[in-house]
Structure 1
Amino acid sequence: MANSEFGYVRNFEQPDALPPSNWIVVRIDGRGFTKLCKKYEFEKPNDRRALDLMNAAAVEVVRSFVDVVLAYGQSDEYSFIFHESTTLFERRAAKLATSIATAFTAEYCMQWPTFFPADQPLARPYPTFDGRCVCYPKRKILRDYLSWRQADCHINNLYNTTFWNMVLKGGMSNTEAEQALKGTVSADKNEILFSRFGINYNNEPLIYRKGTVVYRSYERNSVQNGEGSRIEAAPPTSKTQLEKERKRKQKATVAVEHVDVIGDAFWEAHPYILASKGGDSSDK
């Protein structure tokens, strides 16, 4: 910006760089999605088209931001994890949050016709997403965050599956179903689903029960550890190495899976996702 008598106004901008050596999570949430679901008549308790659209938008965001190591989504939210070493936008919180939220919103709107019929075109007010940044200093805390979101997915989906079956198949009103479920625990809801509607909740699609994990999957001929899973061998330092690393990530296959991230199996199979630039994936 050219110097001028008005340049002093820059002093009112507040620095918002996030602390170094922290994993950054940018979580985006749909704004006013309860009304949107009613407007476009989303299926209850889950609309597979809407979830597939969310996942498709997330894939493109992961492709666009190579510093994102993993994304986890459920319902109308997605969490994008930036590596602890990222220097993107100088780690400025506002830039990170707005860039992810706007990129996701654009993809969601542009890909809508791919998942919804022509007689359901988007109209104003268009879907939008807000975003926030949260820092986590340790891998263990970051994994606990992801476990929290996946546990939330399970709790909400079990409730919604039970509630909407009681309404749509059981003939109850929304208020009656809500009152009937007050004070119930998971076992109670599972019993209601099985005894009244013949539904074994454990047989429900994993995308509804577990949510969605999006990450880069590398070829097996990459550097590997003893278990055959790729890890980072050494931190790229020169501009040439950094550019090669960026291109490698851009060419990587973006995997979309509905798996458990609370246990250790997923992380043991993909240790490179949360590895440091030197290859360490321990909980530090």
Structure 2
Amino acid sequence: MANSKFEYVKQFEQPDSLLPNTWIVVRIDGRGFTKFSAKHGFEKPNDKRALELMNAAARAVMAELPDITIAYGVSDEYSFVCHKTCALFERRSSKLVSTIVSTFTAYYVHFWPTYFPESPLSPPLPSFDGRAVCYPTVQNLRDYMSWRQVDCHINNLYNTTFWALIQLGGMDGTEAEKTLKVSFVAVVPGAIDLMRNEQGTYSADKNEILFSKFSINYNNEPEMFKKGSVVFRDYELVEPGTHNASMDADNLAEPIQQSKTQSENDRKRRAKARIVVEHLDIIKDDFWDRRPWLLSNKPGKVPKEP
């Protein structure tokens, strides 16, 4: 770019590089999606088409950006995780967030006709906001992911019961909300049980309402609704205990510096890997132990063809 007398305005730009050697999580959320979903007739409590559309957009983002190691989505939100060694856009927060948000939104609109062919988009169009947060340790990162999955379970159990009371029980929203008394405790394997407040009801109460009143066994609900969606690159699973990626990743005060050739080769291998969407428990160790590449950032073995 040629120099000019106007170039001084560059001095007003502020550096916004994220902390080095930390996990980066870019979390995006739908903006005004309550009205948007009502406008397009999303099914309650869950619309399978809408969730699969979110998953399709997330897969496309990961295909475009091999630096993303794993993503987790529920409802109208998605969290994209970049490894501690990520140097994409020199770790500038504004560039990372704007690229992920805009790419996700573009693919969401692009895939919309596939999942909602009978409901063409019109203003207000879908949009998303985003933010980047740094987590210094693997435990911090896993706790963040666990938090989102626990939140998925809590909200889904509540919403499933709430809408059953309305759709099957003939209540209006106020009556259903009063019955549930808003707060309740979710019992999630691997998570800390929460205390019930004075007017709250336990998750067991929600399950009892569903089963006794409507013959709905919550355990039989689709895993995507209960656990959310996990998006990652698919390599051969390893036996638990054969590789402690968490320790390897956390014991390094300074990340190992790879040559440009090594980094580019790893990037190419990640770009060629199959990206899958699963609905799994990411709170327990087994998920991470069997997929050490998620924490080590080293591509695994490509699964053999069946």
* TM-score for the superposition, normalised by structure 1: 0.91
Aligned length: 274
In the other structure, the counterpart of 2:188 is: none
Taking a change above 3 Å as real, the CA distance of residues 212 and 110 of structure 1, as seen in their structure-2 partners, is same
Q: RMSD across aligned C-alpha pairs, in angstroms?
A: 2.3
Does residue 103 of structure 2 align to residue 82 of structure 1?
no
Taking a change above 3 Å as real, the CA distance of residues 259 and 226 of structure 1, as seen in their structure-2 partners, is closer
Give, as a single letter, the amino acid of the residue that structure 2 aligns with 1:39: K
**CA contact 2:156–2:225 (8 Å) conserved in 1:** yes
**CA contact 1:25–1:133 (8 Å) conserved in 2:** yes
Name the CA distance, whole Å, in 1 between partners of 2:262 and 2:115: 39
Residue 236 of structure 1: how far off its partner (Å):
7.6
**CA contact 1:229–1:270 (8 Å) conserved in 2:** no
In the other structure, the counterpart of 1:57 is: 57
In the other structure, the counterpart of 1:260 is: 281
**CA contact 1:235–1:277 (8 Å) conserved in 2:** no
1:150-187 per-position Cα deviation (integer Å, ceiling 9, x unaligned): 00000000000000000000000011101111022211
1:181-220 per-position Cα deviation (integer Å, ceiling 9, x unaligned): 1022211111111110111111111000000000011257
In the other structure, the counterpart of 1:139 is: 138
User: What pairs up with 1:25-64 in 2 under 5 angstroms?
Assistant: 25-64=25-64
**CA contact 1:73–1:213 (8 Å) conserved in 2:** yes
Taking a change above 3 Å as real, the CA distance of residues 278 and 244 of structure 1, as seen in their structure-2 partners, is closer
**CA contact 2:266–2:298 (8 Å) conserved in 1:** no
Name the CA distance, whole Å, in 2 between partners of 1:103 and 1:207: 23
Taking a change above 3 Å as real, the CA distance of residues 82 and 181 of structure 1, as seen in their structure-2 partners, is same
2:262 alignment partner, one of 236, 241, 248 = 241
Taking a change above 3 Å as real, the CA distance of residues 108 and 195 of structure 1, as seen in their structure-2 partners, is same
Give, as a single letter, the amino acid of the residue that structure 2 aligns with 1:260: D
**CA contact 1:33–1:76 (8 Å) conserved in 2:** yes
1:30-77 per-position Cα deviation (integer Å, ceiling 9, x unaligned): 001000110000001000000000000000101111110000000000
Name the CA distance, whole Å, in 1 between partners of 2:216 and 2:42: 21
Name the CA distance, whole Å, in 2 between partners of 1:212 and 1:70: 11
In the other structure, the counterpart of 2:114 is: 114
**CA contact 2:269–2:299 (8 Å) conserved in 1:** no
User: What pairs up with 1:83-102 in 2 under 5 angstroms?
Assistant: 83-102=83-102
**CA contact 1:49–1:116 (8 Å) conserved in 2:** yes
In the other structure, the counterpart of 1:166 is: 165
Residue 6 of structure 1: how far off its partner (Å):
1.9
Taking a change above 3 Å as real, the CA distance of residues 94 and 87 of structure 1, as seen in their structure-2 partners, is same
SS in 2 for 1:245: helix
**CA contact 1:23–1:142 (8 Å) conserved in 2:** yes
Unaligned runs of 5+ residues in structure 1 are 280-284
* TM-score for the superposition, normalised by structure 2: 0.84
**CA contact 1:26–1:81 (8 Å) conserved in 2:** yes
In the other structure, the counterpart of 2:294 is: 273
In the other structure, the counterpart of 2:148 is: 149
Give, as a single letter, the amino acid of the residue that structure 2 aligns with 1:131: G
**CA contact 1:218–1:230 (8 Å) conserved in 2:** no
Give, as a single letter, the amino acid of the residue that structure 2 aligns with 1:166: L
Taking a change above 3 Å as real, the CA distance of residues 73 and 96 of structure 1, as seen in their structure-2 partners, is same
Unaligned runs of 5+ residues in structure 2 are 182-199, 249-254, 301-306
How high is the sequence identity, in percent, across the aligned residues? 59
**CA contact 1:236–1:245 (8 Å) conserved in 2:** no
